[in-house]
Structures are given as C-alpha cells and as structure tokens.
Amino acid sequence: MRHKPLDFYDIDDLLTDEDRQIRDAVRAWVDGRVLPIIEDHFQAGTFPAHLVREMGEMGFFGTQLEGYGCPGLSYTAYGLICQELERGDSGIRSFASVQSSLVMYPIHRFGSPAQRERWLPGLASGALIGCFGLTEPDHGSDPGAMITRAEHRGDHYLLRGAKMWITNGSVADVAVVWAKLDGVVRGFLVERGTEGFSAPELKNKHSLRASVTSELVFDEVRVPLENILPGVEGLKGPLACLTSARYGISWGALGAAGACFDASREYSLTRHQFGRPLGSFQLVQAKLAGMLREITKGQLLSWRLGRLMDEGRARHEQVSLAKLNNVDIALDIARVSRDLHGAAGIVSDFPVMRHMANLESVITYEGTHDIHTLVLGRWITGIQAFS
C-alpha cells in the first residue's frame, strides 16, 4: 500500500526541498522494503535483521552527525526519517533511534577521537549495531539511583550490575553502558563477547515484537581503560542522548498515527454496514476528524521543534512536550483505529493493532508519559514533583 501523506495544513511548504526529498526517499524505501514483511516479523516475534545493512547503505543512521561516515543532515531531516520508519513499524524506528541518538550520538559527542574512529563508520554503515544501557531492573524513571557500578582496577574498570529493557541488546556489537564510578555516572563502551557480559533476549512481549529487547548482565566484566567515554560526567550524558532520541520519537509517533489514519480512512470508505459506507456515519466521521485534528497539531509541534533543534536552542522541556503529546495522540489514534476497524482491527490484514501494541511501549520508554508531564510541571512551577 502506498501512503499519500496526511498534510492538512500544507506543512510540506515549510520543509526544504532537501527535507522533502529525504522524507520521500525514506518513504519509498519503507513502502518497498518494510511494509511487505513487517506483519510476518511482528507475528513471529523476529527482528528483520537483513534490513540493518540496507538502512546503513541508505544513510539512515547518525544522519544528524557530521564526519566519520555521517552526512550532517538537519534535525528536521532526522525527524522525518523517524516519521517514515515508524510509519512502517515502531520497532524499525526504535532500532534507528538507538543506533543514531543513543549510541552514535554519545560516541560522537563524548567519545575520544580513537573511539569515534573505531565505532562511528561501522555504526553508520550498519556493519555494526549498538545498544544503550541506562534503565535497570529496579530503576527506570529514577536512573540516578542506578546500582550498576564500575571500579578502577589498575589496567581496567570492573563492571558489575544489570540493565533492562534494552533495545538491540542481544544483537549489539557495542553497548553504551552508564554506570557509577566513584559515585559519578560515566559512560562505558562494552564490546560484545567480553567475558562476563551477556545479553539474554526478552521473548514474551506483546509490543515491539519486530524489535530485539534484552537484559544486559555485567558479571565482573573487565572494561579496558580506553573504553570510558572521556567527554561527560553525570546524568547529563545519558539525558542528552535521550533528548535527541525523544525528539525523533515525537516525529516517529506521527508516522504510526498517520498509518492508522490512512488505514481508517480507507476502511471507512470501503466497509459498508446498513447499506452505507462506515464513513457516512457521524460517529465515524467524528473519529476521523479527531485524528486529523491531533495529527495536524502534532505535525506543527514537531516541525517547530525541529527548527529549534536546528538552531541549537531547543530546551529539553520542549522535547518532553512533543514526545509526550505526539505519542499520547498516536496511541489514542491507534486505539480508535482499532475500534473503527471492528473485528478486522485485530488481525494483521491491517496495521492498526500492531501500531497500537507498539505504541504501548513507546508511551513508556524514553521517559514515561507521567514523568514528561512532571517535567512540564517542574518547568511551570519550579517545583520538582518526582524526587
């Protein structure tokens, strides 16, 4: 199925030619390479690993970075890439978000020249896969309370602890792991195959089934001294990564919402009940109009935030608002789409329940809906409600 994008407010006019060409190129790739296979992977609970190299060759990874095989595109272009990938599936977009924002970004920004040289070209081309470990089994919204520890032991750091809900964990060649060294959060590059490091995959998910989610276990892992990220100390390191990724998610959610809207519009015009198309009923029209309304507002939000990111003056609270709003409306749209499709909404002939199930993760990961709400509350009042 080809997707004619919903663009009720002519937001296309606000994009540059380059942005539009990039968006269209990603869309064509998703139409041709993701949509035909994604339902089968989702049903089987498998990640379409064969797409990784292709995504690398297409230039989808680390687009917002410059040098080391990265093209230095705008943040708006990065957002549009996320939007189109998530129009395909949140799992595919999650892969790209982790690779670009949570792995390549910290190595690029906080890594040593040798670390950049070693990892970035391979991560950009898709020859290498990365993952990001911040959340722990007992610490999600409160990462500052993490228990994973590194100790300086002569010629290496000794890493102990565990990370949880890690996208790409079991397939990653390198993990960017955040752990406390003498009480201060630091980033470490832990390589696949290092003794004591394992990454068992979580297989019982109802969501993001076409994506790998893992636990990372560090059982006395010796990490070479040169694998510490030298450029940052404290939680601001991982939080900077998350701000970049969350920005992309705000666009990605619009892709999933757009796919649900397209499917719902189509279904409402082709499905007849009581001798009339579903779309002729006022309640159905109200649902479609509600989707149109929210997607259009979300598009304006992400477009503006993209420009602020490109100008280097986006505040993380603004990113919180876009992430929480767009994922919230996308999940709502997916649920309404499922309802609008009736019984057909639960089978894989239509993408709506897959998107719905995926978005149940997206609303929780990278800062839960509630935490982002409280970030806004803190910005308004100056009082932090979650510590």
Partner 1 sequence: MKIAACVKITPATDSRISILADGTGIDASGIKWIISPYDQVAIEQAVLLAEANKGTEVVIVTVGDDNAVAQLRAGALAVGGDRAVLVQDAALANSDNLGVAKALAAVLKKEAVDLAFFGKVAVDDDASQVPGMAAELLGWPQVSSASKFELAGSGFTAVRAVGGGMEQEVRGSFPVVITADRDLAVPRYAKLPQIMKAKKKKVDTLSLSDLGLSAGDVAPKVAVSSYALPPSREKVTLLGGSAQEAAAELVRRLRDEAKVL
Chain contacts with partner 1 (rule: CB under 8 A): 2, 4, 17-18, 20-22, 24-26, 28-29, 32-33, 57-60, 63, 71, 73, 81
The one catalytic residue in 84, 86, 136, 366 is: 366
| Shortest spacing between CB 170 and partner 1, in angstroms | 28
| Shortest spacing between CB 25 and partner 1, in angstroms | 4
CA distance 120 to 99: 10
| Shortest spacing between CB 100 and partner 1, in angstroms | 12
H-helix or E-strand spanning residue 122: helix 113-125
| Shortest spacing between CB 63 and partner 1, in angstroms | 7
Beta-carbon contacts of 118 under 8 Å, excluding residues fewer than 6 positions away, are none
Under 8 Å between Cβ of 115 and 189: yes
Nearer to partner 1, 193 or 275 (CB): 275
Residue of 190, 193, 58, 30 whose CA lies nearest to 124: 58
Nearer to partner 1, 80 or 319 (CB): 80
Nearer to partner 1, 16 or 384 (CB): 16
Q: How far is CA 359 from CA 122, 297, 352, in A?
A: 30, 19, 11
CA distance 339 to 346: 9
Beta-carbon contacts of 129 under 8 Å, excluding residues fewer than 6 positions away, are 52, 99, 123, 168, 171, 172, 173, 174
Nearer to partner 1, 169 or 252 (CB): 252
Q: Is 220 a catalytic residue?
A: no
Beta-carbon contacts of 351 under 8 Å, excluding residues fewer than 6 positions away, are 39, 259, 260, 263
Residue of 284, 369, 294 whose CA lies nearest to 333: 294
| Shortest spacing between CB 101 and partner 1, in angstroms | 16
- Dihedral angle sign, alpha carbons of residues 189, 194, 196, 201: positive
DSSP 230-259: TT--STHHHHHHHHHHHHHHHHHHHHHHHH
CA distance 24 to 382: 42
| Shortest spacing between CB 24 and partner 1, in angstroms | 7
Q: Which residues pair with 150 in a beta bridge?
A: 159, 181
CA distance 157 to 53: 32
| Shortest spacing between CB 44 and partner 1, in angstroms | 25
Q: Please classify residue 363 by burial: count the beta carbons closer than 10 Å to its beta carbon, then call 0-12 exposed, 13-18 middle and 19+ buried.
A: buried
Catalytic residue numbers? 366
